[in-house]
Structure 1
Amino acid sequence: MTGPRIALFAEGGDWHAARLGESFAARGAALVRLSLDRAMLATGTETGVELPGFDDGLPDAVLVKTVAAGSFEAITLRLGILHALRDLGVPVWNDARAIERCVDKAATSFHLARAGLPTPATWTTEDREAACRIVARECGQGPLVLKPLFGSQGRGLLLVERPEDLPPPEATGGVHYLQRLVRSPAGLFEDYRLFVVAGRVVAAMARRGATWITNVKQGGEPLPFTPDARMTRLAVAAAGAVGADYCGVDLIRDEAGRALVLEVNSMPAWAGLQSVTPVDIAAAIADGLLAALPQRRQLAAAGG
């Protein structure tokens, strides 16, 4: 009997994909790398989904590393394929629901707050006049951060202290996502990335910057870090709030030392984190997904 065959949706010659391939192979599983834009919905076939490399049926599981940029129509189709695979009983890490909740920062904030998790106050609107009123009202308590709704890796962040600081609507896709700036204790520019796999924090790092933008891609320095029990619980709860099987959860401490959840990344990179932790993160993902296969099959058979 052959081992499980896992479809990996990733783009190009990605370092992460190579590490994942090695980890799954070491566990007797075959990782088949493909791009979501090569997948097809085909209702005239037995399953209704066609994936290159799986001509004889569906994969045992799907691991989503990246969803490439594309038109609204293309992204809708790609997410639809992930929805279809899950509906067919294929375990999908992460499934389309989790990706939709995490890619859209407003949706992330909503689900975190709805779960009762401490997270900075946010406001999201297409109405520029409403955004100006929010800034005028709220900046008396401190600056806000304007973030791209679909941004990542610290790109496009802007500190807003007065309505005049807001860029024109075309610079934000017509959407203003504003979040209260959280100042760290002792004037440090530091936050934390906790990597969650299957409901467990497997690795963590601190990110320290010369400015309030601490992302590694923007010059932040990754540092070894051991989270306390409260931060660990928060990260696991945040993953659960958005339905993520694996994710990077960003936390920050406010001036009183209280931990808050900033964001959840459902397709996280981990090269920076891997550089400061002895944990093999790709191996942790492989172990978590493979351990979930029998349980997922039972749930699918029971209609769960």
Structure 2
Amino acid sequence: MNHRIPVFTDDPGWHGKRLKEAFAARGYEAVFVSLKDCVFNLGFGANQPAVLIPGFEDALPKGVFVRGVPGGTLQRVIARLDILHALKLLGVVVYNDGHAVERTVDKAMTSFLLHLNQVPTPQTWVCESRYQAQEIYLRETMAGRQLVLKPLFGSQGQGIRKLTHETAFPIPMAQYVDGLYYLQAYVDSGEGAWHDHRVFVIRGKAVAAMIRHGSQWVNNVAQGGRCEAVAADGELALLAEAAARAVNVDYCGVDIIRDGDGKLYVLEVNSIPAWKGLQGATGVNIGQLLVDDFLSCIHTQPALTIVS
């Protein structure tokens, strides 16, 4: 068996180091590869795999671990996701696969799938028309409700804005918003005591959870949120697990908020989640849990035969 595993990422950093250690603990070598460097090799008669991964030109690995999909133009992003789709069709375990990444990087589809599967999530509207967005804004804010404007693609709390009846409209299109309105009802977790939860789910099971306390209404660790461990059980875990099922992922980080009445809502599901803050707060070796689950998948996958 080839004991080298490609980890798709352009920036290994802290998370790459943890994965490399976790693979090494199980006798495997993690090899960092960018999806930008992979090639479709569709020439007839070529004695090589149909997808060329640098360092794996002679044979496809049994599995690949997806830690990052580089951004870029629509064509480039589609081509990179096509590599993930193709690898899965060729019998390679893709963790998380291209469909999971597509469903979760797109906040509109995530919100739709949560709603479709009756997972509590804030009321959401997505449109391109500034006129339609303004109608929603006026209706909601005149009724005393607040909204959050988010980029459709984005993470770590970047580019989000809270809208109130005092907010000027039309809203200047920030670089993150890109001419599209993703509007979500604002859930107040406690003015001056802002907080939300991150729950990590692997193979449908909540394995670690924390509460993030923010100095403002955005609680992300990247925005200065303070992490505190909480039990990954009860209502919080059940809701996170339901969210993971709704978007059908191998592993994910689920962001959950509790309103003033105690009701929980899923805000987002991230299929390429960070876990540095969560691991630091809980002491759970999440990298090792991920690697062990990934390896269990490739060990149950039938061997791939490449026809030349």
Equivalent residue number for residue 261 of structure 1: 266
Do 1:5 and 1:60's aligned partners in 2 also have CA atoms closer than 8 Å? no
TM-score of the aligned structures, taking structure 1 as reference length: 0.93
Q: CA deviation at 1:186?
A: 7.5
Secondary structure of the corresponding residue to residue 121 of structure 2: coil
Equivalent residue number for residue 155 of structure 2: 152
Residues in 2 aligned to 1:186 and 1:39: alpha-carbon distance in whole angstroms: 48
Equivalent residue number for residue 275 of structure 2: 270
Question: Would you say 1:117 and 2:119 are equivalent positions?
Answer: yes
Residues in 2 aligned to 1:75 and 1:211: alpha-carbon distance in whole angstroms: 33
TM-score of the aligned structures, taking structure 2 as reference length: 0.92
Do 1:148 and 1:157's aligned partners in 2 also have CA atoms closer than 8 Å? yes
> Which amino acid in 2 is paired with 1:11?
D
Q: Specify whether residues 296 and 181 from structure 1 end up closer, same or farther in structure 2 by C-alpha distance, changes over 3 A only.
A: farther
Secondary structure of the corresponding residue to residue 136 of structure 1: helix
Secondary structure of the corresponding residue to residue 276 of structure 1: helix
Equivalent residue number for residue 168 of structure 1: 172
Which deviations, in whole Å up to 9, do the C-alpha atoms of 1:32-67 show, x marking residues without a partner? 210000001111145311000112211111111111
Q: Percent identity at matched positions? A: 45
Which deviations, in whole Å up to 9, do the C-alpha atoms of 1:223-271 show, x marking residues without a partner? 1111441211111111121121111000011111111111001111111
Secondary structure of the corresponding residue to residue 193 of structure 1: strand
Equivalent residue number for residue 290 of structure 1: 295
Q: Equivalences for 1:1-304 in 2 at 5 Å?
A: 2=1, 4-44=3-43, 45=46, 46-139=48-141, 140-162=143-165, 164-169=168-173, 171=175, 172-185=177-190, 188-297=193-302
Secondary structure of the corresponding residue to residue 55 of structure 2: coil
Q: CA deviation at 1:165?
A: 4.2
Residues in 1 aligned to 2:162 and 2:170: alpha-carbon distance in whole angstroms: 9
> Which amino acid in 1 is paired with 2:66?
V
> Which amino acid in 1 is paired with 2:20?
G
Q: CA deviation at 1:296?
A: 3.8
Do 2:206 and 2:232's aligned partners in 1 also have CA atoms closer than 8 Å? no
Range 260-269 or range 38-47, more displaced: 38-47
Secondary structure of the corresponding residue to residue 206 of structure 2: strand
Residues in 2 aligned to 1:101 and 1:70: alpha-carbon distance in whole angstroms: 18
Do 1:128 and 1:169's aligned partners in 2 also have CA atoms closer than 8 Å? no
Residues in 1 aligned to 2:135 and 2:14: alpha-carbon distance in whole angstroms: 45
> Which amino acid in 1 is paired with 2:14?
W
Residues in 2 aligned to 1:296 and 1:106: alpha-carbon distance in whole angstroms: 32
Which deviations, in whole Å up to 9, do the C-alpha atoms of 1:161-188 show, x marking residues without a partner? 2473452346421100000011125763
> Which amino acid in 2 is paired with 1:263?
E
Residues in 1 aligned to 2:170 and 2:253: alpha-carbon distance in whole angstroms: 29
Residues in 2 aligned to 1:120 and 1:73: alpha-carbon distance in whole angstroms: 32
